Amino acid sequence: MEEAFRAGMAKMTKPEKAWIRDREGKEQAILKAAMTVLAERGFSKFGVNAVAKGAGCDKQLIYRYFGGLEGLADKIGEELADWIGREVSPDTRTDSYAETVADLLGKFSEALLANDLVRQIVIWELAESTPITVRLSAARSRALSDWISRTLKTAPSPSPRVDAPAINAILIAGVQHLVLAERSSGSFAGLDLDEAGRRRVRAAIRALCRSAYGEGEI
Amino acid sequence: MEEAFRAGMAKMTKPEKAWIRDREGKEQAILKAAMTVLAERGFSKFGVNAVAKGAGCDKQLIYRYFGGLEGLADKIGEELADWIGREVSPDTRTDSYAETVADLLGKFSEALLANDLVRQIVIWELAESTPITVRLSAARSRALSDWISRTLKTAPSPSPRVDAPAINAILIAGVQHLVLAERSSGSFAGLDLDEAGRRRVRAAIRALCRSAYGEGEI
DNA sequence: AAAAAATATCACCAGTAGGTGATATTTCGC
DNA sequence: GCGAAATATCACCTACTGGTGATATTTTTT
């Protein structure tokens, strides 16, 4: 029926392509759809069917162009390589280690709060350990540690009497977890994470940095 | 065929019950299987089929006895009500707020590290917001805050100049996140979370508490 | 003993997942 | 123009999900 119709109309209309040939465009569409699905619906909905549907093409193309979900996740990882560098302005003070770390934690918090994709990847890493999450985790933590060392490089060194890497790990983990909790439940440990709560957390972070890294006297 | 066989044997063997009638036992088996599935395979595998298979009974019983997965999750929440009170010995010092909080964070870390079920529930809460996670979250956070206030009740009050709730939220979030990261990737922010790393984190937590809550001079 | 209620299981449904072979369409090289 | 290669889609497979109606079995009540 369809063919007969098209054959009949052939003389009055253009050949009417059944689909357009645009590999690069499709690849882009697939990659974008993959990031959108992961960012907006979470890792449990991240699959070939959902991505193909989002990209408006056949799922076979995901296998052909990216080698399946794993290859697609690798590409997302590359895309992630410098996410934080893009989103964060590099205007940190350099006069004191405590203030620099506090600034850094604040910027990190804002960047993570604004980036659905990175948050979902963090959650995915916590929830599962698969080839995909291992790769994504590597890409993300590399981007993060690069950014941190880049930011702290110009700051004065902390006192060797304190274990700065351990303290920073605790503070970064705390900030990261509070951002995740804010997005999911909106509160943590009885503390409402609304605008006022976030302000208190910011102040507490700075107080912790100052007291831990000395220099309490500005 | 089966019926003919059993009818034929009826005169030589016991009636041979097709199944045993043991409602309470089945309920227990289902609840236990549900907790096992969630603890060992995570929320993404937590479903009626997996739980029924684990309990060795038909999934229909989950609907009949618990009203589906939601009711089952409620029962898990009840079971969770005092998890931390069971797993943690209450021998905390009470001579200083800083030391008490540091002790509390250490105990909380140990308890969370040892309890697969609670960790998976925390991750579930971060990943999804469904009627089930909302209820589980409520049960868990109630248990946690009860335990915290019970532990801190006998401690001296912190200086009113510091925002103790905000500081504690950051530290608890940090400890919680580090435990999750230890179980998934084994490291965080470049810090290896092996025995040595955990020791450094414990020490850093105590240092943070002491510096933030004064009393740095023991 | 017969009827009623409780208990447990089975068989099936529609929906969706990941994955693949066959096929249609388009473009490029000759 | 013609065949080969690239491109895109379709149709189908198996496996698993949550959910439900029908049925078989056991116990209790009458």
CA distance, residue B7 to nearest chain A CA (Å): 50
- Provide the number of CB pairs (under 8 Å) joining chain A to chain B: 160
As a whole number of angstroms, the distance between CA A52 and CA A68 comes to: 11
Contacts B182 to A, Cβ<8 Å: none
Residue nearest to nucleotide D19 (CA to C1'): B60
What would the two tokens of residue A128 be? 């599962």
Can you give the pLDDT of all 218 residues of chain A as single tens digits?
344 433 434 334 445 566 777 788 999 999 999 999 999 999 999 999 999 999 999 999 999 999 999 999 999 999 988 888 888 877 777 789 999 999 999 999 999 999 999 999 999 999 999 999 999 999 999 999 889 998 899 899 999 999 999 999 999 999 999 999 999 999 999 999 999 999 999 999 999 999 999 754 44
Under CATH, what is the fold of the domain A19-74?
Arc Repressor Mutant, subunit A (1.10.10)
The shortest C-alpha distance from B99 to chain A (Å) reads 15
Q: Is A179 left (phi over 0), alpha (psi -120 to 50) or beta?
A: alpha
Mutate to test the interface with A, among B40, B109, B126, B150 (most CBs of A within 10 A): B126
- pLDDT at residue B215 in the model: 58
B20: nearest Cα among B71, B64, B48, B56: B56
| CB-based contact A189:B145 (threshold 8 Å) | yes
A60-CA/C19-C1' distance, Å: 9
- Chain A residue nearest residue B189, CA to CA: A169
B204 chain-A contacts, CB cut-off 8 A:
163, 166-167, 169-170
Q: Cβ A170–B178 below 8 Å, yes or no?
A: yes
Positions in chain B short of pLDDT 50: 1-14, 216-218
If contacts are CB pairs under 8 Å, which of residues 71-130 in chain B contact chain A? 123, 125-129
- Model pLDDT, residue A87: 81
Structure confidence at residue B17 (pLDDT): 66
Distance CA A166, CA B203 (A): 9
Which residue carries 């410098």 as its tokens? A82
Residue A205 contacts B, CB cutoff 8 Å:
yes
Note the pLDDT of residue B84: 86
SS (H, E, C) chain B: CHHHHHHHHCCCCCCCCCCCCCHHHHHHHHHHHHHHHHHHHCHHHCCHHHHHHHHCCCCHHHHHHHCCHHHHHHHHHHHHCCHHHHHCCCCCCCCCHHHHHHHHHHHHHHHHHHCHHHHHHHHHHHHCCCHHHHHHHHHHHHHHHHHHHHHHCCCCCCCCCCCHHHHHHHHHHHHHHHHHHHHHCCEECCEECCHHHHHHHHHHHHHHHHHHCCCCCC
CATH code, B2-75: 1.10.10.60
Residues 20..59 of B with a Cβ closer than 8 Å to A: which? 42-44
pLDDT in tens, B85-109: 888 877 777 789 999 999 999 999 9
Q: Measure the CA–CA gap between B135 and B19, rounded to whole angstroms.
A: 34
Nearest protein residue to nucleotide C21, judged by CA and C1' positions: A60
User: What is the domain partition of chain A in residue ranges?
Assistant: 19-74, 83-212
From residue B72, alpha-carbon distances to B60, B86, B115, B117, B192 in Å are 13, 22, 19, 14, 37
- The residue among B128, B129, B159, B177 with the most chain A CBs within 10 A of its CB, best to mutate, is B177
Q: Does the beta-carbon distance from B167 to A211 stay under 8 Å?
A: no
